[in-house]
Amino acid sequence: MSLKWTDSLDIAIELFEKYPDIDPTQIRFTELREWILALDEFDDEPSHCSERVLEAVQMCWIEEAEE
C-alpha cells in the first residue's frame, strides 16, 4: 500500500503505531512532516504538503490516540 498526503487517517495510524508514546498534540508540523516523509509506505511528492494536510493528519492521530 502506498500512502499519499490525502491518506490522513492511514498516515495517522502508521504514525500512532510507530510512535506510540508521542502526544500528537505536542508535535510541531515541521517534525510531523519529516516523520511522514520517513514512513516506509509513504510515496508522494514532498512539495504537495501543506499546513492543512498536516492539520488533518494531526487530528486523525489525536483521534487514534484517544481510542
Condensed to tens digits (0 to 9), the pLDDT of residues 27-63 reads: 999 999 999 999 999 999 999 999 999 999 999 999 9
pLDDT tops 90 at residue 18:
yes
Phi/psi of residue 16, nearest 5 degrees = -60, -40
pTM score: 0.93
Distance between CA atoms of residues 66 and 62, nearest Å: 6
Distance between CA atoms of residues 3 and 46, nearest Å: 12
Is there a contact between 12 and 36 (Cβ–Cβ < 8 Å)? no
* pLDDT confidence tier of residue 1, bands split at 50, 70 and 90: confident
The pLDDT of 5-29, averaged and rounded, is: 96
C-alpha triplet 63, 1, 32: angle, nearest 5°: 45
pLDDT tops 90 at residue 7:
yes
